[in-house]
Structure 1
Amino acid sequence: MQENKGRIGENTGDVPESSPHVVTTKKILVLEDDQLIRELLKELLSFRGYIVTAAVNGVEGLKEAQQSTPDLIISDVSMPEMNGLDFITHIKDDPILKDVPFIFLSAKSREEDLRKGLKLGADSYMFKPFSNNDLLNEIEEHIF
């Protein structure tokens, strides 16, 4: 029997065994312009039992957030049309969405980028590349 290693959502050592697959009604909105990363995030989070919607930029993300009121938002910083920094500003100005936990995932790893994201209201700022385990822990810290 061949072992399947490295598939997202399987316990490959990157996802803790103590985090079981649990069905939940928690909704996560993912904003990511890179199709591969967006699809991998959707697969990982869906496997963990979250209801996942996705958008390729802040314009689409804002429409989706206003329609579905997610329980948590994960957003890239650098995206076309509306970047993550402008997107979070709109989210924090919306009386219904302003308290939704917000995680930035970004390749922008300078200290000033992190400070700017947190100053605009992000609850967390994670650098790419990231581990599934770290992301899932961060989500669970903010969503439950």
Structure 2
Amino acid sequence: MADGSLRSARMTAGIVLAFSAAVLSGCTAFATGYAVLDREAEGADALPDGFIEQDPADIADLSSARYVGEHSGSSLWLLRGVDQGSVCILAYRDETAGIMGCGSEGGPVEMSGPAGHFVTVPDDYPTPDGATRISDNVYALSP
């Protein structure tokens, strides 16, 4: 009986190790990123004072902001979220028309408001249907 228990314990340990390896390799196999967030900051990356005064630092890491373009009068930035594995998009026209949306780095993050309707996608992600390209990661959507 002791041999049976030992064999069972070894099988269980082997299954747990195999499952753990599969889960860990699965996480890295589907890892996605945003190259723009990995580059050095430039002067154009500075956020507007009107946005900083709203103090959303509990949602996004403001120091990670990278300017990605402009669409219909709204300036757009990507930022890292404060939650690990999150990314945020900021569309800012002025103090009365600004919006930020955050979500998982692994897929599209869509937001809509007075500054426009936008979606951000990770590097090498398919272009969203009917979208207008602003940058490698940011697209404008029709309302």
TM-score of the superposed pair, with normalisation by structure 1: 0.28
Relative contact order, higher structure (CA 8 A, sep 6+): 1
Greater per-residue strand proportion: 2
Q: Pick the structure with more helix per residue.
A: 1
TM-score (structure 2 length as normaliser): 0.28
